[in-house]
Amino acid sequence: MFSFLLLHIPDGFLSLSVSGCGWLVAAAVLAWAVRRTSTRLGEAAVPLVGVLGAFIFAAQAVNFPILGGTSGHLLGAALAAILLGPWSAVMVMTAVVIVQAVFFQDGGLLAMGCNLLNMAVLAVFSAHVVYRVLGRLSPRRWWAAVVAGWLSVVVSAAATGVELVWSGMFPASLAMPALLGVYGLVGVAEGLLTASAVGFLERSRPALLEETPLVEQDTAASLLTAGMTATLAVILLAPLASEAPDGLEHLAEHAGLAGTEVAPWFEVFPDYAIGFLGGTPISVVAAVAVGAVAVFALTSLVIRSISGDETV
């Protein structure tokens, strides 16, 4: 039976630099998740997260035949995010990815950083954000769960594609449409399964989704997480930005003004590249990341000075 979820990248496909970047980001998020979960759950963290990690693994183990010869199964990131909140879900999915890689050799060790980033971070936060935002629009949240489940798979697949492209495995023009096309369909099954599980719980234990101590209700934290997830996605996708002229450049060319612009009197990262890293994807990512951090810091400073709120 050919299992339809191929998101566990084995070692040998990703370059060392991409693997290293994946590990850096994943380790940072994981460290924060360990801290948040330990603070919120206290001594219950280990047994609760451990057993619920086994639940996600068991839910993934339920293979259902789709079309003759193929089978599908849950990724579970969206379900974990909806039922447990983002940080506990990150911990749970991290445990799942590690166990799959180490004890079942499904996914690499060096590639684990990227696998964690794709399935335990990006998939979880994208699902969480979508579910929280769309769930507020209607009391019947099942359709928010469908979109959350679908998006978790698509985002995970897109991130996998970006990492493979950066590693020089495939051109973006092939990898991205192929992955997004296939996983756009696979994600529908994930969305429907997620929604039906959430719907079952809403019918049978409606209080559970509100009262479970694992679910985080902090709206400010959710919005901050949403923003940071979106920013991270933009940073990682920056090297894939189109090189075609943007609207202003196109207009300038059309009006015959191209080339008449005055050069800036200083440049920090000309053309979104860091000098000593050259025009590599890593250089673009680093430049965009530095810019994002600078904007975030400046915005925080301005808001703090206006509101006088030390918590911003």
Partner 1 sequence: MRGTARVRPGLPLHPRTLWIFALCYIVAANLAGGSSWWGLVGLSFLLVVVGWMLSISWRKVLRGMWIPTPFLAAGVAMVFTTPGDVWFVVPGVDLPVTVQGGWKYLEIAWKVYLCWTVAAVVFQSRRPEEILQGLAALRVPAALVGILAVMLRYLEVLVGEGRRTLRAKTARTGRARLGFRRLSRDAWLFRVYGALVGNLFLRALARAQRVHLAMLARGYDGRLLPSPGEGRMTEQDWGMVSLAVLLPLIILLGGGR
Tokens of 111: 């590639």
Residues 237-276 that bind partner 1 (CB under 8 A): none
Residue 280 touching partner 1 (CB under 8 A): no
Residue 2 touching partner 1 (CB under 8 A): yes
Residues 184-203 that bind partner 1 (CB under 8 A): 192-193, 195-201
Residues 150-169 that bind partner 1 (CB under 8 A): 169
Residues 62-81 that bind partner 1 (CB under 8 A): 62, 64-67, 74, 79
Q: Which of 108, 113, 239, 281 binds partner 1 (CB under 8 A)?
A: 108
Q: Which of 28, 31, 301, 303 binds partner 1 (CB under 8 A)?
A: 31
Provide, rounded to whole angstroms, the least separation between the CB of residue 227 and partner 1.
27
Residue 279 touching partner 1 (CB under 8 A): no
Residue 94 touching partner 1 (CB under 8 A): yes
Residues 206-235 that bind partner 1 (CB under 8 A): 208, 212
259 vs 278, beta carbon nearer partner 1: 278
Residue 54 touching partner 1 (CB under 8 A): yes
Provide, rounded to whole angstroms, the least separation between the CB of residue 185 and partner 1.
12
Q: Which of 28, 46, 230, 258 binds partner 1 (CB under 8 A)?
A: 46
Residue 89 touching partner 1 (CB under 8 A): no
